[in-house]
Amino acid sequence: MKTLQLSCVAALILAASAVAQMPMPKPGPEHKKLDVFAGSWTLEGDMKPGPMGPGGKVTENETCEWMEGGFFLACHVKFSSAAMGNGSGQSFLGYSENDKAYTYRAFNSWGEFEEAKGSWDNDTLTWLSDDNMGGMKMKGRFTMKVNSPTSYNFSYEVSQDGTKWTTAMDGKATKNK
**pLDDT at site 34:** 97
Give per-residue pLDDT as tens, 109-138: 989 899 999 999 999 999 999 988 777 889
**pLDDT at site 52:** 64
Contact 39, 148 (CB under 8 A): no
Q: CA torsion sign, 27 to 32 to 37 to 39?
A: positive
Specify the pTM.
Answer: 0.83
Residue 104 domain-assigned (yes or no):
yes
Residue 53, by phi and psi: left (phi above 0), alpha (psi -120 to 50) or beta?
A: left
**pLDDT at site 82:** 79
Residue 17 domain-assigned (yes or no):
no
Residue 7 domain-assigned (yes or no):
no
**pLDDT at site 14:** 56
CA–CA gap between residue 114 and residue 116 (Å, rounded): 7
Counted domains in the chain: 1
Burial profile 70-105: b = 16 or more Cβ within 10 angstroms, e = fewer: bbbbebebebebeebeebebebbbbbeeeeebbbbe
**pLDDT at site 22:** 74
CATH number at residue 78: 2.40.128.20
Spans in the chain with pLDDT lower than 70: 1-21, 51-52
**pLDDT at site 6:** 53
Residue 160 domain-assigned (yes or no):
yes
Host domain of residue 60: 28-175
Residue 12 domain-assigned (yes or no):
no
Contact 61, 42 (CB under 8 A): yes
Which of 49, 68, 70 is closest to 58 using CA atoms? 49
Residue 18 domain-assigned (yes or no):
no
Q: What are phi and psi of 32, to 5 degrees?
A: -60, -25
Residue 144 domain-assigned (yes or no):
yes
* E strand spans, 20-55: 39-47
Report angle CA 104, 149, 109 to the nearest 5 degrees: 35
**pLDDT at site 152:** 98
